[in-house]
Amino acid sequence: MTKLIIKYALILFVALSGLKFLEYQFFSYKMSLESYLGIIAGIFLLAGIIIASYWAKYSQQDKHSPTDKDIQRKALNEQNNSSTEQSIAGQIDQQKLSEFSEREQQVLQLLCHGYTNKEIAQSLEISPNTVKTHMSRLFSKLGVSNRTQASSEAKLLKLII
């Protein structure tokens, strides 16, 4: 952390020193106003291009590299699908569960695991507004008004484990 602070401090020092030098040249009448403004504009243009390319590079890496949560979700889905499918079938109330659509069941499962709307949307590859729609339908079918109550009610009704 201290290395990062020192790095940015040095960058700011060099930039400020350069700008002060240009300002001195301008006020000592060695440089015209057009030249001064052109150099300042060029510096900010260059800084913007560098920052944008740096930002774009790291935002693309975040989209393509799997996060720990993605890996955990995949492992959880594999575990739920393979080993516990037979044992869970006896414990879950299938009749009550059949009142919910397949997508609502998936949303309910992720909701009970503590996922946010955005995480649910990313996991199911749907929009956050669609998640909100499914949530409101779940709330009305369960007779609750918030996420915590929905999770508790789903466990109480044995819709999830």
Q: Give the per-residue pLDDT at 79.
A: 54
- What's the pLDDT tens digit per position in 86-143? 454 457 777 777 888 889 888 988 988 888 999 898 988 899 999 999 999 989 988 9
Alpha helices in 92-127 (DSSP H): 94-97, 102-112, 117-124
DSSP state of 101: -
Residue 148 in tokens = 């915590």
> For the chain, what are the domain ranges?
2-64, 76-156
- What's the pLDDT tens digit per position in 130-158? 999 999 998 998 899 999 988 888 888 88
Helix (H) or strand (E) segment spanning residue 7? helix 2-27
Percentage of the chain modeled with pLDDT above 70 = 81
Helix (H) or strand (E) segment spanning residue 57? helix 33-64
Q: Say yes or no: domain 76-156 is CATH 1.10.10.10.
A: yes
Q: Nearest 10 degrees: CA dihedral of 83, 89, 93, 94?
A: 120
Q: Give the per-residue pLDDT at 62.
A: 54
Vertex 35 angle, CA 33 and 41, to 5°: 100
Closest CA to 123 of 141, 136, 109, 135: 109
pTM above 0.75, yes or no: no
- What's the pLDDT tens digit per position in 25-75? 878 878 788 888 888 888 889 888 988 888 888 776 655 555 555 655 665
Tell me the C-alpha distance between 131 and 122, whole Å. Answer: 10
Write out the E strands in the chain: none
